[in-house]
Amino acid sequence: KQEVTQIPAALSVPEGENLVLNCSFTDSAIYNLQWFRQDPGKGLTSLLLIQSSQREQTSGRLNASLDKSSGRSTLYIAASQPGDSATYLCAVRRSTGTASKLTFGTGTRLQVTL
Amino acid sequence: NAGVTQTPKFQVLKTGQSMTLQCAQDMNHNSMYWYRQDPGMGLRLIYYSASEGTTDKGEVPNGYNVSRLNKREFSLRLESAAPSQTSVYFCAIGTSGRLRTLYNEQFFGPGTRLTVL
């Protein structure tokens, strides 16, 4: 059974700092990995999607990397801003099956302070 | 969360009551999913529908039923609500089957916050 772990569970950084969020998974047979953002009381917003054949994806100040063989992904946030404060979730998708079912980590709650 | 709508946004039930959570999409995606989110547990898949007319159990299906009414709508029903079903419920959509080349990205609705007393 696939298990996804995110460390740390919570993180507080001052504005402007670069930071890395970690995601690890136990079964390397994945189709892709997706990073989401969730604001308090809200739904999930997709940030980045990395296919299993890719090493990284970038969107603005966000960069996600994937090392499938070691079961790890990182989300790098450059020049953090208070608006980046949210919970960040990673989810992996199995290689097989007719529907793309996701297994989620429990998230990292990020607070960016002024 | 554009493209996926959920109703209601909030609901309070008494133990034993029934209700149906509604989900609708306007993105023409084949697959639809129901998740629940609980503190410390992450999101867990309840049921999913790979395409219109098909439904399958996910990780935690007990106590729930689903209906894929058409391509746009996927409902989740609690026949006899229990306090253990207090949670936030999310509907999601995604591509599947021969559209797998479109990366199978999933998009989520805003959620329904359910409390069972």
Percent of chain B scored above 70 by pLDDT?
Answer: 90
Q: Could you give the CA distance from residue B23 to residue B4 in angstroms, rounded to a whole number?
A: 7
Q: Is residue B24 over pLDDT 50?
A: yes
pLDDT in the model for residue B70: 93
Q: Which chain B positions have a beta carbon within 8 Å of A49's beta carbon?
A: 103, 105
Taking every pair of Cα atoms in chain B, the longest distance, rounded to a whole number of angstroms, is: 45
Q: Where are the beta strands (DSSP E) in A29-107?
A: 30-38, 44-51, 56-59, 62-67, 72-77, 86-94, 102-104
Contact state of B110 with A43 under an 8 Å Cβ cutoff? yes
| Structure confidence by residue, pLDDT tens digits, A62-111 | 999 999 999 999 999 999 999 999 999 999 988 655 556 789 999 999 99
Note the pLDDT tens digit of each residue in B64-73.
999 998 999 9
How many Cα atoms sit within 13 Å of B93 on the Cβ side? 24
Helix (H) or strand (E) holding A55: none
Q: Give the contacts of A77 (CB within 8 A, at least 6 positions apart).
A: A18, A19, A20, A21, A61, A62, A84, A110
What is the largest distance, in Å, between two alpha-carbon atoms of chain A?
Answer: 46
Average pLDDT over residues A16-23: 97
How much is the average pLDDT of B13-29? 94
pLDDT of residue B114: 97
CB B93 within 8 A of CB B27: yes
Write phi, then psi, for A65 (nearest 5 degrees).
-115, 155
Q: Is A1 helix (H, G, I), strand (E, B) or coil?
A: coil
Chain B within 8 Å of A105 (Cβ-Cβ)?
yes
- Determine the Cα–Cα distance for residues A51 and B104; give it in Å rounded to an integer: 10
Cβ distance of B31 and A44 shorter than 8 Å: no
- Other Cβ atoms less than 10 A from the Cβ of A50: the count is 22
pLDDT class of B96 with cuts at 50, 70, 90: low
Mutate to test the interface with A, among B21, B27, B37 (most CBs of A within 10 A): B37
pLDDT of B103 above 80: no
Question: For chain B, what is the mean pLDDT?
Answer: 89
pLDDT higher than 90, residue B31: no
Token pair of B70 as six digits: 């058409």
Helical H segments across A1-114, by residue range: none
In Å, what is the CA distance from B52 to each residue of A95, B32, B108? 22, 9, 18
Which of these ranges, A22-31, A81-90, B41-50, B97-106, has the smallest mean pLDDT?
B97-106
Using CA atoms, how far residue A60 sits from A107, A112, B57, in Å, is: 21, 18, 37
> Looking at the partner chain, which of B90, B96, B100 has a beta carbon nearest the beta carbon of A44?
B90
Residues of B within 8 A of A46 (CB-CB) are 105-108
Give A90's contacts in chain B (Cβ within 8 Å): none
Mutation target among B47, B102, B108 for the A interface, most CBs of A within 10 A: B108
Query: Residue B100's pLDDT band (boundaries 50, 70, 90)?
Result: very low
